[in-house]
Amino acid sequence: MRTCRESHELSWRTYNPGMSCLFCRIIAGEILGSRVYEDEALLAFDDIHPQAPMHVLIVPRLHVPMLNALDSSHDALVGSMIRRAAAIAKGRGFDESGYRTVFNCNAQAGQTVFHIHLHVLGGRPMAWPPG
């Protein structure tokens, strides 16, 4: 079976997520996560290795491997991810104290799961620049 990354290099547009993409498997319910939000386009769940008291991942149901694969057809989808991050942070009471949103893209930024996801972190002071 092709890995998610290998399939991306062939063509993410024709990629059938099947069983090889971790986040597609979570979306499909094959791997249980702690879901905090879902709608027809997005799923949000707690990160399994939280880096802050709130560490939620927001993922589109659509398999897009990384930011480099986005085009204008995804603009509304990505906008909805960012607005959902703000709504989740507000729901946790971090809208006034502050929170951080992060998209990692490719290896040097630390991307390990090649299905785009927005990290939403809050509940502690955060350093800048990031490590």
Residues assigned a catalytic role = 117
Task: Give the pair of three-digit tokens for residue 88.
Answer: 């989740």
Does residue 112 touch ligand AMP according to CB under 6 A?
Answer: yes
CA distance 48 to 37: 16
Q: Is 77 helix (H, G, I), strand (E, B) or coil?
A: helix
Q: Give buried/exposed letters for 109-127 (b at 16+ CB in 10 A, else e).
A: eebebbbbbbbbbbbeeee
Decide: is 63 part of the binding site for Zn ion (CB under 5 A): yes
Q: In angstroms, what is the minimal distance from the CB of 96 to ligand AMP?
A: 25
Tokens of 76: 């509304």
Q: Which one of ligand AMP, Zn ion, none interacts with residue 126, CB within 5 to 8 A by kind?
A: none
Mask: binding to Zn ion, 69-108, rule CB under 5 A, as x and -? ----------------------------------------
**What residue ranges bind ligand AMP (CB under 6 A)?**
22, 31, 33, 45, 47-49, 57, 104, 110-113
